[in-house]
Structure 1
Amino acid sequence: MEHVTVVEAPANGVAPRLALLLLHGTGGDERDLIPLGREAAPDALLMGLRGRVLEHGAPRFFQRLAEGVFDEADLVARAADLAGFAEDMLARLAPGLPRAALGFSNGANMAAALLLLHPRLLDAAVLLRPMVPLVPATLPDLTGRQVLLSSGMADPIAPPAEGQRLAALMREAGAAVTQVVQPASHGLVQRDVAAATSALREVGRPAAA
């Protein structure tokens, strides 16, 4: 499968402030997170990508062996492939702009893997309902990276404990991590949008003295 993408510039000819990769959950596509991305970051150049793995016809970004059990070899290979493609796309379409990813569920896990395996690709990430995708043998230096993790209090797929484990891993690597737990299950709620908006507003801004 080829990489399928959709690119959407800010409305009214506004110059984009950042480039935002949108990575959908299982069964989604490149347009799923466009409305969320636009609401959370009105001034972003949105880049929606479709996962290249099919699980019973449902697009994903990497294979899994069972619910919550990831095929780590496939994840590493897919992350490398996606990182190379995204790097080229960002260099062509958004040179010089800060780079962030917003991912939901499977897409959040892929975004986390990109941070852990290809740390130079992204400046920030918004991870909605994430799990720990893998633990690399050597942690990258994520100093200066901004990461938001938003878990659902009653999520049976990606419980808050998974978000806590991932937050600890990202902090150990040096990232500036904000973790929130929403009164929700696996589905997104308006509080996720508010949290994403707040996080993306800070991307590319100098840290307060």
Structure 2
Amino acid sequence: MTMKMKHLYIKGKNEEAPVLLMLHGTGGTERDLLGLAELISPGSSVLSVRGNVLENGMPRFFRRLAEGVFDIEDLVYRTGELHEFLAEAATEYGFDRSNIVAAGYSNGANIAGSLLFHYKDSLKGAILLHPMVPLRGIKLPDLSGVPVFIAAGENDPLCPPTETKELDALLREAGAVVEVRWDRFGHQLTSAEAHAAAAWFKQTFAIE
């Protein structure tokens, strides 16, 4: 079997807890968000993945043409690649493919959002930290009951509030149960957001 994406898998103590799929921001690695995973769900197994695209030496999950302008063809291809990788990883490591919750920041949040936009049942839920609308003009799959937490900054120069509100509306129209948390800050991931995401996760998935 070919594992096409560089990654880390850390087996957790709670086998019923969702597996956390951790997806870094531009320039990050598969180690960047391990602390966040520990905060969100200490008992969960963690699958942390590095993006396969390099932009000026910085790992990303898909190419972009300019800041805020995605290479849609590459986004669609890379989303499919990640979706296939999750099935391979579930077989390789012996976890339940239907029990994955993604937690992504910035570029990682965008690829997680793209999984939701393209594949029904790809994710059991998602924590999207400073996401954008991955792409427009497609019909989303049925996301009935899929819980999604979005953290957004009111002063985020990369993801203006209109972007967050549009993403929220698109996900809700597809049936997702969305909670949006606003902070006054910009694009950085804050400790308050991380703790809010952890509280949401524990409540949503009834994890002790």
Partner residue, 1:110: 111
Q: Is the 8 A contact 1:16 1:45 kept in 2?
A: no
Residue pair 2:4, 2:85 contacting (<8 A) in 1 also: no
Deviations 1:157-198 (A, max 9, x none): 112221111000000110000011112111111111122112
Could you list the per-position Cα deviations for residues 30-81 of structure 1 after superposition, in whole angstroms to 9, with x for gaps in the alignment?
A: 1101111111111211111000000010000000000000011110000001
What residue in structure 2 maps to residue 78 of structure 1?
78
- The whole-number CA distance in structure 2 between the counterparts of 1:136 and 1:52 is 26
Kindly tell me: are residues 91 and 161 of structure 1, through their superposed partners in 2, closer, same or farther at Cα, counting changes over 3 Å? Answer: farther
Partner of residue 65, structure 2: 65
Q: Which moved more, 1:46-55 or 1:87-96?
A: 87-96
Question: Quick one: which amino acid aligns to residue 32 of structure 1?
Answer: D
Q: Distance in 1 between matches of 2:205 and 2:39?
A: 18
Q: Which runs of 5+ in 2 are unaligned?
A: none
Determine helix, strand or coil for the equivalent of 1:25. coil
Runs of 5+ in structure 1 lacking a partner?
none
Superposed displacement of residue 97, structure 1: 6.3
Amino acid at match of 1:4: K
Deviation per CA, 1:84-115: give whole Å up to 9, x if none: 01122124431276210000000000000001
Q: State the shift of 1:199 in Å.
A: 2.3
Quick check: 2:22–2:49 contact (8 Å CA) kept in 1? yes
Checking the alignment, whether the CA contact within 8 Å between 1:123 and 1:144 is kept in structure 2 is no
Q: How does the TM-score come out when normalised to structure 1? A: 0.91
Structure 1 residues 114 and 170 mapped into 2: Cα distance closer, same or farther (>3 Å)? same
Q: For 1:58-207, list aligned pairs within 5 A.
A: 58-93=58-93, 94-95=95-96, 98-205=99-206
Contact 1:20 1:100 (C-alpha < 8 Å) held by counterparts: yes
Q: Secondary structure at the match of 1:44?
A: coil
- Contact 1:126–1:199 (CA<8 Å) still a contact in 2? no
Residue 62 of structure 1 contacts residue 71 of structure 1 at CA under 8 Å; is this kept in 2? yes
Structure 1 stretch displaced more, 124-133 or 85-94? 85-94
DSSP 3-state at the match of 2:45: strand
Cα distance in 2, alignment partners of residues 63 and 114 from structure 1: 16
Q: Equivalent residue for 2:11? A: 9
Q: In the alignment, which residue of structure 2 is the partner of 1:41?
A: 41
Aligned residues: 203
CA RMSD, Structure 1 to Structure 2 (Å): 1.7
Amino acid at match of 1:101: A
Work out whether residues 98 and 123 of structure 2, in 8 Å CA contact, stay in contact via their aligned partners in 1: no
| Percentage of matched positions with identical amino acids | 41
Partner amino acid for 1:78?
R
Alignment check: 8 A CA contact 1:151 1:182 kept: yes
Q: SS of 2:164's equivalent?
A: helix
Question: Structure 2-normalised TM-score?
Answer: 0.92
Measure the CA separation in 2 of the matches of 1:54 and 1:46. Answer: 23
> Which AA in structure 2 matches 1:116?
F
| 1:124–1:203 CA contact under 8 A, matched in 2 | no
